[in-house]
């Protein structure tokens, strides 16, 4: 098995969605927002993403940074959730990440004086 960082983001998204589908999960699809039957798929996926972020916060509070249910493990869960969601737009997602990362290099220190 290859390391996750060796694959382009669009391949990781496809893998995340394929695994989710193989386990019976319904991934967000283009057009769901106009489909009365599927319009709640994205909110459910976003809820599950937030739940993983909360688990990462709890792991940090417990001082467990590594290992099962540690901070890194829970952040990986969150990233997998993001890839599952954004697998609906893999090329746009890839381009947006590149564009945002490039833009961030041009921003002033502390984004122009923000406190945190």
> Which stretches of the chain bind Mg ion, using CB under 5 A?
52, 55, 74, 77
Which two structure tokens, joined as six digits, stand for 76?
Answer: 């990986």
Q: In angstroms, what CA-CA distances link 19 with 83, 84, 97, 104, 106? A: 11, 9, 23, 32, 37
User: Which residue number, 61 or 114, has a Cβ lying nearer to Mg ion?
Assistant: 61
Nearest distance in Å: CB 38, Mg ion: 25
User: Which residue number, 14 or 53, has a Cβ lying nearer to Mg ion?
Assistant: 53
Element (H, E) at 10: helix 9-22
Nearest distance in Å: CB 77, Mg ion: 4
Nearest distance in Å: CB 74, Mg ion: 5
Which two structure tokens, joined as six digits, stand for 88?
Answer: 């609906």
Q: Which residue is nearest to Mg ion (CB)?
A: 77
């Amino acid at each position: 098995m290859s390391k996750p960082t060796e694959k382009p983001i669009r391949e990781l998204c496809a893998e995340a969605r394929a695994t989710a589908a193989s386990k019976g999960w319904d991934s967000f699809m283009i057009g769901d927002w106009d489909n009365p039957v599927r319009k709640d798929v994205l909110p459910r996926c976003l809820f599950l993403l937030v739940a993983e972020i909360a688990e990462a916060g709890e792991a940090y509070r417990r001082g467990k940074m590594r290992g099962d249910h540690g901070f890194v493990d829970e952040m990986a869960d969150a990233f997998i959730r993001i890839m599952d969601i954004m697998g609906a737009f893999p090329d746009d997602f890839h381009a947006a990440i590149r564009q945002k990362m490039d833009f961030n290099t041009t921003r002033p220190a502390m984004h122009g004086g923000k406190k945190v």
